[in-house]
Amino acid sequence: MKSIVVAIACLLTVSIAARVQAQSCDGRTEQRVDQENYLALNDRVYVYVPDINSLGSSGGWQSFTVRVLSGIYRKPLLLARAYMKENDLQSLLSTRRDIRQTPITVLGFDPRKGGRPAINASATVKDGERAGTITVRVTRVVPVSKGVDHLFVVCSTGK
Amino acid sequence: MALSKAGERMARTGIFISHAHEDRDLAQSLAALLKAALELEAADITCTSDAEYGLERGADLRDQITTRLQSAKALFLLATPASHTRDWVQYECAIADAAHADGLQFYIVTPLGAHREIVPDPYVGRVSVTLSCAGDLHAFVKQLRKTFGVGTASSAYIDPMLELVDRAVPATVAHQRAALEKQAARGERRTKIAAAVAIACALFAAAGAWAMVWATGRERTYAAEIRQLNADHAKELEEKDKLRSEQLRQAELAADEAFKQFSFSGLFQDSRFKQVPCSKVEVFVPDAVTGGERQVLKPCDGRGTFIFSGPELQVDARIPIRLRAHLGRPQPFEFLVLRTAASLPFLFREGQ
């Protein structure tokens, strides 16, 4: 009886994990990533957001580069989400040649000059050793004058 | 025409001088003037403060006044500051005013020019005669003489008239002095009040200014303290973030190092679980320095097993390595091994 319960629990865990995994890269769900933080999109692909230089209270920002980290055979980083300085990340990745970095350049935006922010930058990386690909798209940048600047990404799977 | 006690109409002949007791000297002079000017007998004149023209002793005062006014042809109100509030004066004037239609003349004489301040309220609108002004008084006397039908050309009233003027002038001067003193006192009081108010305002303004300066200073101090606290807090958070980031990096490196310490050993068996002897095993691992592959060669021992220590391989166990086994065949057996997921021993069929 005990073994059956354990087995059912294991099955539920696997099921929930699979659902979360599916939701996170469903091509629709926006995921928030704070500046100087990384986030696991799945067990092979991470996204890292550097320090965003926001333009005071005007609601704009200077251009910056989001990095998509993809590991072959393993997770690029230990935790699923954590704070990390960009220089620490670069220092760490310099010792990990199996982790690939793919840049996404987000153009700057100054509302005082008018117009609308042209974001929608994206990058497609291999899903580790697996056959598919993962496309990461930056959808929104949210500069916060007295808070943590952040952005939103959407990831989707491909073949 | 007044009525007698029997109800008959009586001819008005006398005069009545209504005054305050304090003004008896002036009233007596007025009585003397009127007696001379109107050629009256002493009995025709009622002046309550003068024994000669006074009331009968022992008789009822109110009855006598009423009787005298009923027979009087004119009432002279000697309006002064003293008479202004006297009840008897008010009473006499009220009777005279009521009897005006019945032929009683009502004259207001005053030693002062300040009419409004000394004439009782109901009679303020009446024309008064200023006793201190000789010309005014003389014209009034002549008018009276005509009214009273005095036809003789007598100048006997001149002396009493001048005497009355002489008495009225000091009263005027005294009144004016009192008025001036009162005005000065009022002015002084106003000045004092104004000074007190000014001092109070100045003190209040000084207190307000001081409070504002104090409050502003406090506010600035608080603002500076808050700015400093915010800056300290931000700096502290930044330091903590840096520390956290560095600790995480160190943890990642430690994990890398831990995964590099994984030893790797194995043996080869055929499909019947019989051990297959091997001569040597080559492992090709990613080289962090060159970016290529590094070969690590290890001979198998006499029982056909091989073992690589972590320091020999110097590669993360999560990274697959390429393994080439020499098993006594022309071609070595080569395959990828992910050590964290490997299942040893490796099974292979003969001929693979």
Q: Residue B69: name the closest of B89, B40, B39 by CA.
A: B89
Residue with the bigger pLDDT between B66 and A21: it is: B66
Task: Give first-to-last CA distance, chain A, whole Å.
Answer: 42
Asked if A78's CB is within 8 angstroms of B255's CB, the reply is yes
Q: What is the pLDDT of residue A1?
A: 37
Q: Which of the pair, B346 or A132, is modelled with greater confidence?
A: A132
Q: What local confidence, expressed as pLDDT, does residue B342 receive?
A: 58
Flag whether pLDDT at A10 surpasses 50.
no
The DSSP letter of residue B120 is -
pLDDT digits (tens, 9 = 90+) for A31-71: 999 999 999 999 999 999 999 999 877 789 999 999 999 99
* Interface residue ranges in chain A relative to chain B, Cβ cutoff 8 Å: 36, 72-74, 77-79, 82-85, 88-89, 91-92, 95-98
Closest B-chain CA to A73: B319
The series of mean pLDDT values per 10 residues for chain B, 352 residues long, is 48 84 88 89 82 73 82 88 84 84 85 73 80 87 87 81 86 78 88 92 92 88 91 92 94 91 84 84 84 89 86 87 89 85 54 44
The complex scores an ipTM of 0.79
Pairing label, strands A150-158, A31-34: antiparallel
Please report residues of A whose CB lies closer than 8 A to that of B319: 72-74, 98
The pLDDT, as a whole number, for residue A22 is 43
User: What pLDDT is attached to residue B266?
Assistant: 85
Using a CB-CB distance cutoff of 8 angstroms, which residues of chain B are in contact with residue A72? 319
pTM: 0.55
Chain A residues closer than 8 Å to B244 by CB: 83
Mean pLDDT value across chain A: 84
Query: In three state form, how does the secondary structure of chain A look?
Result: CHHHHHHHHHHHHHHHHHHHHHHHCECCCCEEEECCEEEECCCCEEEEECCCCECCCCCCECCEEEEEEEECCCCCCCCCEEECCHHHHHHHHCCCCCEEEEEEEECCECHHHCCCCCCCCEEEEECCCCCCEEEEEEEEEECCCCCCCEEEEEEEEEC
Task: Report which of B162, B168, B165 is spatially closest to residue B112, judged by C-alpha positions.
Answer: B168
Whether pLDDT at A8 is above 70: no
Integer Cα distance of B291 and B243 in angstroms: 31
Q: Find which of A39, A44, A88 to mutate to test the B interface (most B CBs within 10 Å of its CB).
A: A88
Helices marked H in chain B: 24-37, 61-71, 87-98, 115-118, 134-147, 158-260, 310-313
- How high is the pLDDT of residue B348? 53
The rounded percent of chain A whose pLDDT value lies above 90 is: 60
The pLDDT value recorded for residue A11 is 37
From A36, A74, A88, residue closest to B249, measured CB to CB: A88
Contact: B286, A98; criterion CB under 8 Å? yes
Does B249 sit within 8 Å of A89, measured CB to CB? Answer: yes
SS3 B147: helix
Question: Which of B249, B287, B290, B337 to substitute to test the interface with A, most A CBs within 10 Å?
Answer: B249
Amino acid B10: pLDDT? 57
**Is the four-CA dihedral B63, B68, B74, B76 of positive or negative sign?**
negative
Judged by CB atoms closer than 8 Å, whether chains meet at B248 and A83 is answered as yes
pLDDT in tens, A85-110: 999 999 999 888 889 999 999 999 99
pLDDT at residue A21 greater than cutoff 60? no
Question: Which of A36, A74, A88 is closest, CB to CB, to B319?
Answer: A74
Closest Cα in chain B to A77: B252
Peptide bond into B345 cis (omega under 30): yes
Size of interface A-B (CB pairs under 8 A): 49
Chain B residues inside the 8 Å CB shell of A49: none
Burial environment of residue A128 by CB neighbours within 10 A (0 to 12, 13 to 18, 19 or more): buried
User: Of A39, A69, A74, which to mutate for an interface test with B (greatest number of B Cβ within 10 Å)?
Assistant: A74
Q: Which residues of A touch B318 (CB under 8 A)?
A: 73-74
Q: According to the model, what pLDDT value does residue B56 have?
A: 73
Q: Are strands B128-130 and B105-110 parallel, antiparallel or unpaired?
A: parallel
Q: Phi, psi (5° rounding) for residue A114?
A: 85, 180
B242, B252, B319: residue with CB nearest A92: B252
Residue of B nearest to A97 (CA): B288
